Amino acid sequence: MRDEPAPVSRATLRDVVAAYVGLTKPRVLELLLLTTVPVMFFAARGVPELGVVLATVVAGSMSAGSASALNCVYDRDIDEQMRRTRRRALPRHIVTPRAALVFGLTLGVLSTAIFWVFVNPLSAVLSLSANAFYMLVYTMWLKRRTTQNIVWGGAAGCFPALIGWTAVTNELAWPPVICFLIVFLWTPPHTWALALRYREDYANVAVPMLPVVAPGAVVGKQIVLYTWATVAMSLALWPIADTGLFYPAAAAVLGVVFLVEAHKMWGRTRRSDQLSVINPMRLFHTSNLYLSLLFVAIAIDPLLMR
């Protein structure tokens, strides 16, 4: 008897569909929508028009999915080598790079068209600008070149706060800019906590995330500084946007929780550089909860003032 080659399993239709959905990074998508819809309630000072909300959610989902898919195409070389990303569609060869590229570009074109026709041109331009910034500035320029990659590149993920406002008002103002800055300042501690957990992955592919090139104690200190800045910016929304008392109360309580966790992690990084001691995912999950509940408070506040 001679050895026969093992049969090669073919991807099922379900696998392919799941792969295309995975290209859009649904967890990132959820977070982006969570900073879009509450700002629409805030801009409307109540419940916004349902049709505008639906169009914004659909177009925003397509836009974010487009950026994620194009990012997967460009980063497929390092995604194959990282534990966190090697189960994505392109490293598993379920979807070809060309198909993923067409998919990403198609989503981008459709999202821009929906924004332009069913929302307004300003929101369409902001959405397209966010995609271009994410791909050209963050993915293709900053990510593999500087430890400040996520600080400046993370600005792309802040645009939904602006888009939620312009979708309702068709103009920019200071309140959405403050919301933009909240997400901008929140992004480094959130991302660096995750990067601490996977710092060996980033080191293996030569992506200079801060936790790769700096000791844990330095990362912990930077996380604390950005967390303080985030909480301060969240409280600035109260006088600038003339909110009710519910929002600043919620922002203060959530801010205290976020700060306590950031300081605790900084303390752990000063005792040890071992991941089992630092436990960065605790802060990562806390940061997710913080931003989610903060923007829920932004949506609820105008409803309580009616």
Residue range 290-306, pLDDT digits in tens = 999 999 999 999 999 76
The CA-atom distances, in angstroms, between 85 and each of 23, 194, 237 are: 11, 13, 36
Mean pLDDT of 213-224: 97
Kindly state the tokens that stand for 273: 């550089």
Say if residue 9's pLDDT is above 50: no
Of 86-90, 159-163, 253-257, the poorest mean pLDDT is in 86-90
d(CA 265, CA 261): 6
CB contact set of 25 (below 8 Å; sequence gap of 6+) = 64, 65, 68, 72
Give 10's pLDDT tier (boundaries 50, 70, 90): low
Instruction: Answer with the residue of higher pLDDT: 11 or 182.
Output: 182
- Rounded to 10 deg, the angle between the 121-132 and 97-114 helix axes is 150
pLDDT tens digits along 108-125:
999 999 999 999 999 999
d(CA 193, CA 84): 14
| Per-residue pLDDT at 30 | 86
Say if residue 92's pLDDT is above 70: yes
Give 5's pLDDT tier (boundaries 50, 70, 90): very low
Give 14's pLDDT tier (boundaries 50, 70, 90): confident
Mean pLDDT of 13-36: 89
- Alpha-carbon 225 to chain mean position: 20
